[in-house]
Amino acid sequence: MNFHVLTLFPEMISQGLQTSILGRALERGTIRLSAVNIRDYTTNKHKKVDDYPYGGGAGMLMQAQPVYDAWKAVSEQIRREKVGSGNVRVIYVTPQGKTFHQAMAKELAMEEDLIFLCGHYEGIDERVVEEIATDLVSIGDYVLTGGELPVMVMIDAISRMVPGVLGNEESGRNESFGNYLLEYPQYTRPEIWHEKKVPEILLSGDHKKVDDWRLEESLARTRKVRPELYEKWAEENQEYFIRKAKKEARARKKEAKRMRSGNE
């Protein structure tokens, strides 16, 4: 998986992604990262990449030419290295884009190359955005000073979906949003901390009961915190509720029989 980031602050990208899990994945070559300085492609002798917006308004706007030439150089390099490769998706991070989510991370992780475009100042000349961007993406309903932080967030989320990045592939499948559900609560040693004990079921060694408990905890947490996700899960898992209802009916029947036996 190859990430190419067009930015005015390449050191921010390279330094921010060189540690922990992603840092190790970069060292192994499981993922690759190149941060391309848009300023290197300006024709202005003073390395200027912005100007005042037509029609007036606050702030400055990134010009089309250096952005386009940076994108063109990266695209041509990818084509040279991978003969026959098609157009590479270009993700422009902007509040006007679709909101980023886990399913999108999984989809993008299927790509071999991704180009990210980081805006700055008041944004980028719309003409070059229309020319090169294939995806407009936002990480939430708020505004940041630049696109670098959102890009790092997306690269982190996407990289976790790339085989070999996580030490334990099960981690990526079971965590929050993997199947609409928020992750269940987890515990580690010591068994008792601040007079709070680890749930007995987790100490039982019965993996089936542990799995059932974790699912129930995920459902309860999701229903409380993110009811819209719970509804999506419920729509796709009707058989779960049917099985649960039958199980509860059998338990009630068994208990009623036990009670009758005890009264005789």
Q: Is residue 186 included in any domain, yes or no?
A: no
Give the end of a domain, one of 169, 184, 205. Answer: 169
- State the DSSP string of 164-178: TSSSSHHHHHHSTTT
pLDDT digits (tens, 9 = 90+) for 128-160: 999 999 999 999 999 899 999 999 999 999 999
Domain membership of residue 72 (yes or no) is yes
**What is the distance between the alpha carbons of residues 93 and 122, in angstroms, rounded to a whole number?**
13
Domain-embedded: residue 183: no
Domain end (from 108, 136, 169): 169
Domain carrying residue 12: 2-169
Are residues 223 and 133 part of one domain? no
Q: For 89-126, write each residue's pLDDT tens digit.
A: 999 999 999 999 999 999 999 999 999 999 998 899 99
Indicate whether 44 and 102 sit together in one domain: yes
91 domain-assigned = yes
- What are the φ and ψ backbone dihedral angles of 3, each rounded to 5 degrees? -105, 130
User: In this predicted model, what pLDDT tens digit does every residue of 214-251 receive, in sequence order?
Assistant: 999 999 999 999 999 999 999 999 999 999 999 999 99
pLDDT at 124: 96
Q: What's the pTM value of the predicted model, to 2 decimals?
A: 0.84
One domain, residues 83 and 123: yes
Which CATH number is 75's domain given? 3.40.1280.10
Number of domains in the chain: 2
Reported for 223-232, long-range contacts at CB under 8 A and 24+ positions apart, including other chains, are 225/182, 226/182, 229/177, 229/180, 229/181, 229/182, 230/180, 230/181, 232/180
pLDDT score for 36 = 98
177, part of any domain:
no
Residue 181 lies in a domain: no
Task: Let me know whether 55 and 159 are in one domain.
Answer: yes
Q: Are residues 242 and 197 in the same domain?
A: yes
Same-domain status, 159 and 223: no
Tell me, what's the pLDDT at 19? 93
Q: Are residues 18 and 134 in the same domain?
A: yes
Q: Is residue 178 part of a domain?
A: no
Q: What H or E segment, with its residue span, contains residue 244?
A: helix 238-263
Assess contact for 223 and 232: CB atoms under 8 A: no
